[in-house]
Chain A
């Protein structure tokens, strides 16, 4: 008997273009058609369940349960009958219209892919940037941070007095207070050249900020004389190959005892980890000074109460929770510097450009098929049915474009993992992009829809 031919129509202009493209287009088309058909069927089957659930929502659990069970049986029946009836024709029509003109399909998909990738990269950069600017705060073992008053971000070092550390230690509920010292310094490479670095000094065993993701050597060895840890991605900049090599900071030896992976700074200045006293020596910080104090609480201590008490004891310093310090760094870099606005502006531009391209191709496709839409109208189709065809066309384009763009996005993520600004993709971002792509295509359909609702069916007879 007859089999539905969705996605197997390979005749039209098959002579043009090479075989590979044709096969590729055909297989994409089959995949889309299958997805579309499955979506349609699933919805057909699900709709009665949803409406039964809605109808019986307030009528007690038992009758609702029965109704849902009945609706589920009906749904199962509908599903099997829908399979026999073939895919919904709206969908068939939409996907055939879509694949009828390959040049336009490619344009549409490129438009969507371009736009989604642009948005992905911009938001991915934003996320990567966000993650990077708070990475030090995230990795410190601190319940509370004592920071110089007015500190705007982690890399904004001014100095605290060592006496403040003892005042903090005297507060009940405080288990430990570890000093941290930070600052820019000049690294002299073994070959004689030099490069600026950002020194992070804390005692590895004192519960401060030890290097993480160690891939060679040991973080504990930072206690050894003139020991430092660096990230492997900066090896070339620092002129070293690995553990055992050495450079100089302030004419003092800096021997690499540990190598990390992925501790990168968005300022592109390499981080150099050292023990607290060693770092003070590299930075020339007076012995009674530190940049931050990292407070750890005793088990069961009330963080808000402890925070208030330390703050009361200290002048010229603020006491922040990790979350508050992270938020302060984040908003400084993202919004204080305009970096966030630039990234969001780029994302917005991507959305606008994508919408315009998709709107343009959908509109011209609709214009091309206007005689068919007029025929649909002549045979009595409602406006809603016609709008459905166009929206399905938009949705199918969105799904194809989104799939390709996500694949490309993952490639960008892989390619930038070790770069100064890695693009980050989270499941939430992917889901958000899917919603965004669909919304973008739906908005793009507006112009086409405005065109079809104005069709005069009588034009069919004039042709």
Chain B
């Protein structure tokens, strides 16, 4: 078993104020280890996004602790949290959130630029990350010239290029059709083969189930079930790579 990459311990989170106060998380403990893709499933409003934000250092818990590669987020200010995210976390969002004025390559390169990596090698690494998601021929394309599936693949390349400890994806397939959703999950599952990297995918799309090493179910701010996923059982990718250009993420 590999070392824990992200540890969430007894996390509680209260959101909103006054009459709108909601106990979004009511004591959640979740540990993510390298080399595994975890699915977080649950009904709308159950606290999935809140948990993902807290594990990724976007929010701090009201109670409980989060450790990213051993570093705690407790007491960290906004700048320190940003630094933690920069070093350890890659995010993938439902609505992609690419920069519309930057090309695919620049979008990916931006993550490295933000980390102060401005060498020709950084550019090559960004191009390599796009190659792993099968977009070598789209380096110079702007987001508006790409399909939804392609945009999400750029977003995944952006999430992995900095080699973070954990990739957190919030409903990455929700805006995509079946085929594109499958392609995205295939790429994420490939990334999760790296024993150094953990992948957490928030979803309520049952078609993502075959890709899971582990499935965690959350309801009303509490984890209600946890079971091994089909992939762990089958110990292999459920489908062939989406196209010939998809290769395992270079390590």
Spell out A's residues near B (CB within 8 Å): 2-3, 5, 9, 11, 44, 81-82, 84-86, 88-90, 92-93, 96-97, 100, 371-372, 375-383, 385, 457-458, 460-463
| Residue with the highest number of chain A CB atoms closer than 10 Å, among B100, B114, B122 | B114
Given A375-B99, A381-B82, A2:B118 Cβ within 8 A = no
Residue pair A88, B113 in contact (C-beta under 8 Å): yes
Name A89's contact: one of B59, B83, B106 (CB within 8 Å). Answer: B106
A92 to B119, CA, bound (A): 16
Residue pair B53, A458 in contact (C-beta under 8 Å): yes
Determine if B180 is an interface residue (Cβ-Cβ < 8 Å): no
Name A85's contact: one of B78, B123, B170 (CB within 8 Å). Answer: B123
Spell out B's residues near A (CB within 8 Å): 49, 52-53, 58-59, 78-79, 82-87, 89, 91, 93, 95, 97, 99-103, 105-106, 109-111, 113-115, 118-120, 122-123, 127, 139-140, 142, 144, 158, 170
Number of A-B contacts (CB under 8 A): 105
Residue pair B99, A372 in contact (C-beta under 8 Å): yes
**28 A–B contacts, CB within 8 A, in A order:** A2-B105, A9-B101, A9-B142, A81-B119, A81-B120, A85-B122, A86-B123, A88-B113, A88-B118, A90-B113, A375-B97, A375-B99, A376-B114, A377-B82, A378-B97, A379-B91, A379-B158, A380-B83, A380-B111, A382-B82, A383-B78, A457-B58, A458-B53, A460-B58, A460-B91, A460-B93, A461-B58, A461-B170
Interfacial chain B residues near A90, Cβ < 8 Å: 113
Residue pair B82, A96 in contact (C-beta under 8 Å): no
Residue pair A381, B114 in contact (C-beta under 8 Å): yes
Name A380's contact: one of B49, B87, B109, B122 (CB within 8 Å). Answer: B87
| Residue with the highest number of chain B CB atoms closer than 10 Å, among A96, A383, A461 | A461
Residue pair B113, A380 in contact (C-beta under 8 Å): no
Residue pair A379, B85 in contact (C-beta under 8 Å): yes
Residue pair B93, A380 in contact (C-beta under 8 Å): no
Name B79's contact: one of A11, A375, A383 (CB within 8 Å). Answer: A383
A461 to B84, CA, bound (A): 18
Main secondary structure of the interface of A (DSSP, over half): helix
Residue pair A85, B53 in contact (C-beta under 8 Å): no
Name B89's contact: one of A3, A97, A380, A462 (CB within 8 Å). Answer: A380
Residue pair A92, B49 in contact (C-beta under 8 Å): no
Tell me the nearest residue of chain B to A84, going by C-beta: B120
Q: B111: shortest Cβ distance to chain A, in Å?
A: 6
Residue pair B58, A11 in contact (C-beta under 8 Å): no
Interfacial chain A residues near B91, Cβ < 8 Å: 378-379, 460
Residue pair A385, B58 in contact (C-beta under 8 Å): no
A363 to B233, CA, bound (A): 54
Interfacial chain B residues near A85, Cβ < 8 Å: 118-120, 122-123
Tell me the nearest residue of chain A to B53, going by C-beta: A458
Residue pair B58, A378 in contact (C-beta under 8 Å): yes
A100 to B142, CA, bound (A): 13
A5 to B114, CA, bound (A): 20
